[in-house]
Structure 1
Amino acid sequence: MFETFRNVFQPDEREDLAVAQATPKSGDPEVDQLLEQFGGQSFNQGIYRVISAGAVARWAERATNAFPRFVGRVTPFGVDWLGRLFALDSARHVDGMTAVVMLEPGTGQALEVPCGLVAFHDAELVQYMEEALAEGFYKKWRATGGAAPRVGQCVGYKRPLFLGGADTTDNLELAKLEVYWETSAQLLDKTRDLPVGTHVNNISIN
Protein backbone atom coordinates (compact mmCIF):
# COMPACT_ATOMS: atom_id res chain seq x y z
CA MET A 1 0.00 0.00 0.00
CA PHE A 2 1.32 3.45 -1.10
CA GLU A 3 4.43 1.85 -2.63
CA THR A 4 3.96 3.48 -6.05
CA PHE A 5 3.38 6.82 -4.36
CA ARG A 6 6.56 6.35 -2.33
CA ASN A 7 8.58 5.66 -5.49
CA VAL A 8 7.38 8.77 -7.35
CA PHE A 9 7.02 11.36 -4.60
CA GLN A 10 10.29 12.29 -2.94
CA PRO A 11 10.15 13.80 0.59
CA ASP A 12 11.65 17.25 1.00
CA GLU A 13 10.48 18.62 4.36
CA ARG A 14 8.58 17.48 7.44
CA GLU A 15 6.83 19.16 10.32
CA ASP A 16 8.16 18.89 13.84
CA LEU A 17 8.27 15.17 14.63
CA ALA A 18 6.28 15.53 17.83
CA VAL A 19 3.44 16.95 15.75
CA ALA A 20 3.85 14.81 12.66
CA GLN A 21 4.10 11.52 14.56
CA ALA A 22 1.11 12.03 16.84
CA THR A 23 -0.98 8.87 17.02
CA PRO A 24 -3.39 8.86 14.05
CA LYS A 25 -7.02 8.86 15.16
CA SER A 26 -8.91 9.80 12.03
CA GLY A 27 -11.50 7.05 12.41
CA ASP A 28 -10.52 5.55 9.04
CA PRO A 29 -7.87 2.77 9.09
CA GLU A 30 -6.48 3.62 5.64
CA VAL A 31 -6.15 7.30 6.51
CA ASP A 32 -4.47 6.35 9.79
CA GLN A 33 -1.97 4.19 7.92
CA LEU A 34 -1.23 7.03 5.49
CA LEU A 35 -0.72 9.49 8.34
CA GLU A 36 1.43 7.04 10.27
CA GLN A 37 3.77 6.64 7.29
CA PHE A 38 3.76 10.15 5.82
CA GLY A 39 2.03 12.52 8.24
CA GLY A 40 3.43 16.05 8.15
CA GLN A 41 5.60 15.26 5.11
CA SER A 42 5.99 17.50 2.06
CA PHE A 43 6.88 16.00 -1.34
CA ASN A 44 8.44 17.03 -4.67
CA GLN A 45 9.36 20.57 -3.62
CA GLY A 46 6.08 21.26 -1.89
CA ILE A 47 3.69 20.25 -4.66
CA TYR A 48 1.86 17.83 -2.34
CA ARG A 49 1.76 17.30 1.41
CA VAL A 50 0.18 14.78 3.76
CA ILE A 51 -1.27 16.58 6.79
CA SER A 52 -0.01 15.69 10.24
CA ALA A 53 -1.86 13.13 12.30
CA GLY A 54 -2.79 15.65 14.96
CA ALA A 55 -4.29 18.11 12.46
CA VAL A 56 -7.17 16.05 11.03
CA ALA A 57 -9.85 17.55 13.29
CA ARG A 58 -8.60 21.11 12.73
CA TRP A 59 -8.63 20.65 8.98
CA ALA A 60 -12.09 19.12 9.06
CA GLU A 61 -13.29 22.26 10.86
CA ARG A 62 -11.60 24.57 8.35
CA ALA A 63 -13.03 22.57 5.46
CA THR A 64 -16.59 22.73 6.73
CA ASN A 65 -16.34 26.43 7.63
CA ALA A 66 -15.60 27.09 3.97
CA PHE A 67 -17.84 24.33 2.58
CA PRO A 68 -20.75 23.88 5.04
CA ARG A 69 -22.47 21.15 3.05
CA PHE A 70 -19.62 18.79 3.98
CA VAL A 71 -20.22 19.00 7.75
CA GLY A 72 -19.86 15.51 9.20
CA ARG A 73 -18.73 14.07 5.87
CA VAL A 74 -15.01 14.76 5.39
CA THR A 75 -11.80 13.24 6.71
CA PRO A 76 -8.92 15.41 5.44
CA PHE A 77 -5.56 13.82 4.62
CA GLY A 78 -3.61 16.01 2.18
CA VAL A 79 -3.09 19.44 0.68
CA ASP A 80 -1.37 20.64 -2.49
CA TRP A 81 0.77 23.67 -3.35
CA LEU A 82 -2.32 25.78 -4.20
CA GLY A 83 -3.76 25.10 -0.75
CA ARG A 84 -6.41 22.73 -2.11
CA LEU A 85 -7.50 20.21 0.50
CA PHE A 86 -8.00 16.51 -0.22
CA ALA A 87 -10.35 14.51 1.98
CA LEU A 88 -12.47 11.40 2.06
CA ASP A 89 -16.18 12.13 1.63
CA SER A 90 -18.32 9.61 3.51
CA ALA A 91 -21.32 10.46 1.30
CA ARG A 92 -19.62 9.08 -1.83
CA HIS A 93 -18.18 5.68 -2.68
CA VAL A 94 -16.28 4.26 -5.66
CA ASP A 95 -15.79 0.51 -6.02
CA GLY A 96 -16.93 0.09 -2.43
CA MET A 97 -14.36 2.57 -1.11
CA THR A 98 -15.01 5.98 0.40
CA ALA A 99 -14.25 8.48 -2.38
CA VAL A 100 -11.93 11.48 -2.40
CA VAL A 101 -13.06 15.09 -2.75
CA MET A 102 -10.86 18.12 -3.51
CA LEU A 103 -11.91 21.36 -1.81
CA GLU A 104 -10.58 24.49 -3.51
CA PRO A 105 -10.43 27.66 -1.37
CA GLY A 106 -9.39 29.79 -4.33
CA THR A 107 -12.35 28.86 -6.53
CA GLY A 108 -14.97 27.91 -3.96
CA GLN A 109 -15.47 24.59 -5.74
CA ALA A 110 -15.61 21.04 -4.45
CA LEU A 111 -14.45 18.55 -7.08
CA GLU A 112 -15.24 14.85 -6.90
CA VAL A 113 -12.26 12.54 -7.49
CA PRO A 114 -13.35 9.12 -8.83
CA CYS A 115 -11.31 6.90 -6.52
CA GLY A 116 -10.57 5.97 -2.92
CA LEU A 117 -7.56 6.86 -0.77
CA VAL A 118 -5.11 4.17 -1.89
CA ALA A 119 -5.91 4.54 -5.60
CA PHE A 120 -5.61 8.30 -5.22
CA HIS A 121 -2.01 8.01 -4.03
CA ASP A 122 -0.85 5.01 -6.06
CA ALA A 123 -2.62 5.86 -9.34
CA GLU A 124 -4.33 9.27 -9.52
CA LEU A 125 -1.39 11.34 -8.24
CA VAL A 126 1.08 9.33 -10.30
CA GLN A 127 -0.75 8.98 -13.63
CA TYR A 128 -2.73 12.22 -13.58
CA MET A 129 -0.45 14.65 -11.78
CA GLU A 130 -1.54 17.51 -14.03
CA GLU A 131 -5.23 17.04 -13.27
CA ALA A 132 -4.73 16.29 -9.58
CA LEU A 133 -1.99 18.78 -8.67
CA ALA A 134 -1.88 21.33 -11.52
CA GLU A 135 1.72 20.34 -12.17
CA GLY A 136 2.09 22.54 -15.25
CA PHE A 137 0.83 25.61 -13.39
CA TYR A 138 3.28 24.83 -10.57
CA LYS A 139 6.17 24.70 -13.04
CA LYS A 140 5.10 28.08 -14.49
CA TRP A 141 5.02 29.55 -10.98
CA ARG A 142 8.53 28.27 -10.25
CA ALA A 143 9.80 29.43 -13.66
CA THR A 144 8.73 33.00 -12.85
CA GLY A 145 10.85 32.90 -9.69
CA GLY A 146 8.08 31.75 -7.37
CA ALA A 147 9.25 29.88 -4.27
CA ALA A 148 8.30 26.32 -3.42
CA PRO A 149 5.85 26.45 -0.50
CA ARG A 150 7.27 25.13 2.74
CA VAL A 151 5.33 23.28 5.43
CA GLY A 152 2.65 25.68 6.65
CA GLN A 153 2.60 27.61 3.38
CA CYS A 154 0.76 27.51 0.07
CA VAL A 155 0.69 29.54 -3.13
CA GLY A 156 -2.70 31.26 -3.01
CA TYR A 157 -4.64 33.58 -5.26
CA LYS A 158 -4.27 37.28 -4.42
CA ARG A 159 -7.80 37.77 -5.71
CA PRO A 160 -9.83 34.52 -5.54
CA LEU A 161 -11.23 33.20 -8.78
CA PHE A 162 -14.75 33.32 -7.31
CA LEU A 163 -14.29 37.11 -6.97
CA GLY A 164 -13.11 37.53 -10.54
CA GLY A 165 -9.39 36.89 -10.05
CA ALA A 166 -7.32 35.66 -12.99
CA ASP A 167 -6.05 32.09 -13.10
CA THR A 168 -2.50 33.25 -13.88
CA THR A 169 0.83 33.30 -12.05
CA ASP A 170 0.54 37.10 -11.72
CA ASN A 171 -2.40 36.51 -9.39
CA LEU A 172 -0.47 34.14 -7.12
CA GLU A 173 1.49 34.81 -3.95
CA LEU A 174 3.15 32.79 -1.20
CA ALA A 175 0.83 32.69 1.82
CA LYS A 176 0.40 31.06 5.20
CA LEU A 177 -1.79 28.05 4.55
CA GLU A 178 -4.05 28.38 7.60
CA VAL A 179 -4.56 32.13 7.08
CA TYR A 180 -5.38 31.56 3.40
CA TRP A 181 -8.07 29.05 4.34
CA GLU A 182 -9.53 31.23 7.08
CA THR A 183 -9.69 34.26 4.78
CA SER A 184 -11.18 32.20 1.95
CA ALA A 185 -13.82 30.76 4.29
CA GLN A 186 -14.91 34.27 5.33
CA LEU A 187 -15.04 35.47 1.72
CA LEU A 188 -17.03 32.43 0.63
CA ASP A 189 -19.47 32.93 3.50
CA LYS A 190 -20.05 36.57 2.52
CA THR A 191 -20.54 35.84 -1.18
CA ARG A 192 -22.16 32.38 -1.18
CA ASP A 193 -25.74 33.59 -1.76
CA LEU A 194 -24.96 36.34 -4.26
CA PRO A 195 -26.28 35.86 -7.82
CA VAL A 196 -23.76 34.73 -10.41
CA GLY A 197 -22.04 37.74 -11.97
CA THR A 198 -22.57 40.08 -9.01
CA HIS A 199 -19.82 42.72 -8.89
CA VAL A 200 -18.16 42.86 -5.46
CA ASN A 201 -16.38 46.06 -4.50
CA ASN A 202 -15.34 45.92 -0.84
CA ILE A 203 -15.47 43.09 1.68
CA SER A 204 -14.14 43.40 5.21
CA ILE A 205 -12.41 40.42 6.84
CA ASN A 206 -12.32 40.03 10.62
Structure 2
Amino acid sequence: MEKQSTEEKIKAAARKLFIEKGFAATKTRDIAEEADINIALMNYYFKSKEKLFDAILEEAFQYFPGKLISILEEEISIEEKVTKFVTTHSEMLKSNPLVPIFVLSELRNNPQKFVEKIGMHEILTDGVLVNQLKREAAKGNIKKISPIHFLINMISLTVFPFIIQPALLTLENLNADIFNNLIDERKQMIPEILMNQIRI
Protein backbone atom coordinates (compact mmCIF):
# COMPACT_ATOMS: atom_id res chain seq x y z
CA MET A 1 0.00 0.00 0.00
CA GLU A 2 2.83 2.39 0.88
CA LYS A 3 4.63 1.63 -2.38
CA GLN A 4 1.46 2.14 -4.38
CA SER A 5 0.72 5.39 -2.55
CA THR A 6 4.21 6.77 -3.21
CA GLU A 7 4.10 5.80 -6.88
CA GLU A 8 0.70 7.41 -7.30
CA LYS A 9 1.88 10.56 -5.53
CA ILE A 10 4.87 10.82 -7.90
CA LYS A 11 2.72 10.21 -10.98
CA ALA A 12 0.13 12.76 -9.86
CA ALA A 13 2.83 15.38 -9.33
CA ALA A 14 4.50 14.60 -12.66
CA ARG A 15 1.19 14.63 -14.53
CA LYS A 16 0.36 18.06 -13.13
CA LEU A 17 3.75 19.53 -14.06
CA PHE A 18 3.92 17.91 -17.51
CA ILE A 19 0.56 19.47 -18.34
CA GLU A 20 1.45 22.87 -16.88
CA LYS A 21 5.06 23.21 -18.07
CA GLY A 22 5.57 20.56 -20.72
CA PHE A 23 7.95 17.62 -20.62
CA ALA A 24 11.16 19.47 -21.53
CA ALA A 25 10.68 22.27 -18.99
CA THR A 26 9.83 19.92 -16.13
CA LYS A 27 12.88 18.90 -14.09
CA THR A 28 13.20 15.81 -11.93
CA ARG A 29 13.73 18.08 -8.93
CA ASP A 30 10.44 19.89 -9.71
CA ILE A 31 8.54 16.59 -9.62
CA ALA A 32 10.17 15.52 -6.37
CA GLU A 33 9.32 18.86 -4.73
CA GLU A 34 5.73 18.72 -6.00
CA ALA A 35 5.35 15.16 -4.65
CA ASP A 36 7.05 16.22 -1.38
CA ILE A 37 9.70 13.49 -1.58
CA ASN A 38 13.45 13.46 -2.15
CA ILE A 39 14.98 12.80 -5.58
CA ALA A 40 16.61 9.56 -4.43
CA LEU A 41 13.20 8.10 -3.55
CA MET A 42 11.76 9.21 -6.86
CA ASN A 43 14.63 7.57 -8.73
CA TYR A 44 14.00 4.39 -6.75
CA TYR A 45 10.49 4.10 -8.18
CA PHE A 46 11.18 5.58 -11.64
CA LYS A 47 14.72 5.43 -12.99
CA SER A 48 14.35 8.58 -15.09
CA LYS A 49 11.96 11.34 -16.06
CA GLU A 50 11.47 9.59 -19.41
CA LYS A 51 10.41 6.32 -17.76
CA LEU A 52 7.99 8.21 -15.51
CA PHE A 53 6.55 10.03 -18.53
CA ASP A 54 6.10 6.75 -20.42
CA ALA A 55 4.38 5.12 -17.43
CA ILE A 56 1.89 7.99 -17.10
CA LEU A 57 1.03 8.02 -20.79
CA GLU A 58 0.75 4.26 -21.12
CA GLU A 59 -1.64 4.25 -18.17
CA ALA A 60 -3.72 7.10 -19.58
CA PHE A 61 -3.96 5.50 -23.02
CA GLN A 62 -4.98 2.02 -21.85
CA TYR A 63 -8.73 2.60 -21.87
CA PHE A 64 -8.92 5.00 -24.85
CA PRO A 65 -9.03 2.60 -27.83
CA GLY A 66 -11.59 0.19 -26.40
CA LYS A 67 -14.07 2.87 -25.41
CA LEU A 68 -13.86 4.72 -28.73
CA ILE A 69 -13.93 1.60 -30.89
CA SER A 70 -17.04 0.37 -29.07
CA ILE A 71 -18.80 3.57 -30.19
CA LEU A 72 -17.76 3.03 -33.82
CA GLU A 73 -19.16 -0.51 -33.62
CA GLU A 74 -22.57 0.47 -32.21
CA GLU A 75 -25.62 -0.14 -34.39
CA ILE A 76 -26.83 3.47 -34.40
CA SER A 77 -27.12 6.05 -37.18
CA ILE A 78 -23.99 7.63 -38.65
CA GLU A 79 -24.94 11.04 -37.24
CA GLU A 80 -25.58 9.66 -33.74
CA LYS A 81 -22.30 7.74 -33.91
CA VAL A 82 -20.26 10.77 -35.00
CA THR A 83 -21.79 12.97 -32.30
CA LYS A 84 -21.21 10.35 -29.58
CA PHE A 85 -17.65 9.66 -30.73
CA VAL A 86 -16.63 13.34 -30.88
CA THR A 87 -18.25 14.13 -27.52
CA THR A 88 -16.72 11.11 -25.76
CA HIS A 89 -13.28 11.60 -27.33
CA SER A 90 -13.25 15.31 -26.42
CA GLU A 91 -14.18 14.63 -22.80
CA MET A 92 -11.56 11.89 -22.52
CA LEU A 93 -8.89 14.23 -23.89
CA LYS A 94 -9.93 17.01 -21.52
CA SER A 95 -9.28 14.57 -18.65
CA ASN A 96 -6.08 13.20 -20.22
CA PRO A 97 -4.49 15.99 -22.31
CA LEU A 98 -1.14 14.16 -22.48
CA VAL A 99 -2.56 11.27 -24.51
CA PRO A 100 -2.07 12.93 -27.94
CA ILE A 101 1.64 13.23 -27.14
CA PHE A 102 1.75 9.54 -26.30
CA VAL A 103 -0.04 8.62 -29.53
CA LEU A 104 2.36 10.70 -31.64
CA SER A 105 5.32 9.12 -29.85
CA GLU A 106 3.96 5.60 -30.37
CA LEU A 107 3.23 6.28 -34.05
CA ARG A 108 6.77 7.52 -34.56
CA ASN A 109 8.55 4.79 -32.62
CA ASN A 110 6.29 1.72 -32.89
CA PRO A 111 3.73 2.19 -35.69
CA GLN A 112 3.06 -1.54 -36.13
CA LYS A 113 2.56 -2.06 -32.40
CA PHE A 114 0.17 0.92 -32.29
CA VAL A 115 -1.87 -0.38 -35.24
CA GLU A 116 -2.16 -3.80 -33.59
CA LYS A 117 -3.00 -2.30 -30.19
CA ILE A 118 -6.05 -0.39 -31.43
CA GLY A 119 -7.15 -2.90 -34.09
CA MET A 120 -6.85 -0.32 -36.87
CA HIS A 121 -6.88 -2.89 -39.69
CA GLU A 122 -10.22 -4.34 -38.57
CA ILE A 123 -11.76 -0.89 -38.07
CA LEU A 124 -10.83 0.24 -41.58
CA THR A 125 -11.68 -2.95 -43.44
CA ASP A 126 -14.74 -4.48 -41.80
CA GLY A 127 -15.88 -2.12 -39.03
CA VAL A 128 -19.53 -1.21 -38.55
CA LEU A 129 -18.96 2.46 -39.43
CA VAL A 130 -17.07 1.55 -42.62
CA ASN A 131 -19.90 -0.74 -43.73
CA GLN A 132 -22.50 1.90 -42.83
CA LEU A 133 -20.80 4.50 -44.99
CA LYS A 134 -20.59 2.09 -47.92
CA ARG A 135 -24.17 0.86 -47.51
CA GLU A 136 -25.73 4.32 -47.17
CA ALA A 137 -23.74 5.61 -50.16
CA ALA A 138 -24.89 2.64 -52.27
CA LYS A 139 -28.51 3.49 -51.38
CA GLY A 140 -27.96 7.10 -52.40
CA ASN A 141 -28.62 8.40 -48.88
CA ILE A 142 -25.17 9.99 -48.53
CA LYS A 143 -22.31 10.97 -50.82
CA LYS A 144 -19.71 8.33 -51.52
CA ILE A 145 -16.64 8.93 -49.35
CA SER A 146 -13.54 6.98 -48.44
CA PRO A 147 -14.04 5.61 -44.90
CA ILE A 148 -10.37 6.35 -44.24
CA HIS A 149 -10.86 10.04 -45.07
CA PHE A 150 -13.98 10.17 -42.89
CA LEU A 151 -12.24 8.61 -39.88
CA ILE A 152 -9.12 10.76 -40.31
CA ASN A 153 -11.27 13.90 -40.43
CA MET A 154 -13.27 12.89 -37.35
CA ILE A 155 -10.20 12.06 -35.26
CA SER A 156 -8.00 14.95 -36.40
CA LEU A 157 -10.68 17.62 -35.94
CA THR A 158 -11.13 16.39 -32.37
CA VAL A 159 -7.48 15.85 -31.43
CA PHE A 160 -5.67 18.78 -33.05
CA PRO A 161 -6.73 21.48 -30.52
CA PHE A 162 -5.22 19.33 -27.74
CA ILE A 163 -1.95 18.96 -29.65
CA ILE A 164 -1.60 22.74 -29.95
CA GLN A 165 -3.10 23.48 -26.51
CA PRO A 166 0.24 24.65 -25.00
CA ALA A 167 0.62 27.19 -27.82
CA LEU A 168 -2.99 28.33 -27.52
CA LEU A 169 -2.59 28.91 -23.79
CA THR A 170 0.23 31.38 -24.45
CA LEU A 171 -2.19 33.64 -26.30
CA GLU A 172 -3.53 36.69 -24.51
CA ASN A 173 -6.98 36.20 -22.96
CA LEU A 174 -6.95 32.42 -23.50
CA ASN A 175 -6.80 30.34 -20.34
CA ALA A 176 -7.74 26.75 -19.43
CA ASP A 177 -11.41 27.60 -18.84
CA ILE A 178 -11.71 29.34 -22.20
CA PHE A 179 -9.94 26.43 -23.88
CA ASN A 180 -12.45 23.98 -22.38
CA ASN A 181 -15.31 26.19 -23.57
CA LEU A 182 -13.75 26.12 -27.02
CA ILE A 183 -13.71 22.32 -26.92
CA ASP A 184 -17.36 22.25 -25.84
CA GLU A 185 -18.24 24.45 -28.81
CA ARG A 186 -16.31 22.14 -31.13
CA LYS A 187 -18.29 19.14 -29.84
CA GLN A 188 -21.27 20.76 -31.59
CA MET A 189 -19.39 22.00 -34.65
CA ILE A 190 -17.41 18.91 -35.65
CA PRO A 191 -20.36 16.51 -36.19
CA GLU A 192 -22.05 19.17 -38.32
CA ILE A 193 -18.90 19.65 -40.41
CA LEU A 194 -18.57 15.89 -40.94
CA MET A 195 -22.23 15.33 -41.77
CA ASN A 196 -22.28 18.26 -44.21
CA GLN A 197 -19.40 16.52 -45.98
CA ILE A 198 -21.56 13.50 -46.80
CA ARG A 199 -25.13 14.86 -46.95
CA ILE A 200 -26.81 14.81 -50.34
| TM beyond 0.5 | no
TM-score of the aligned structures, taking structure 2 as reference length: 0.27
Q: Which has the higher helix share?
A: 2
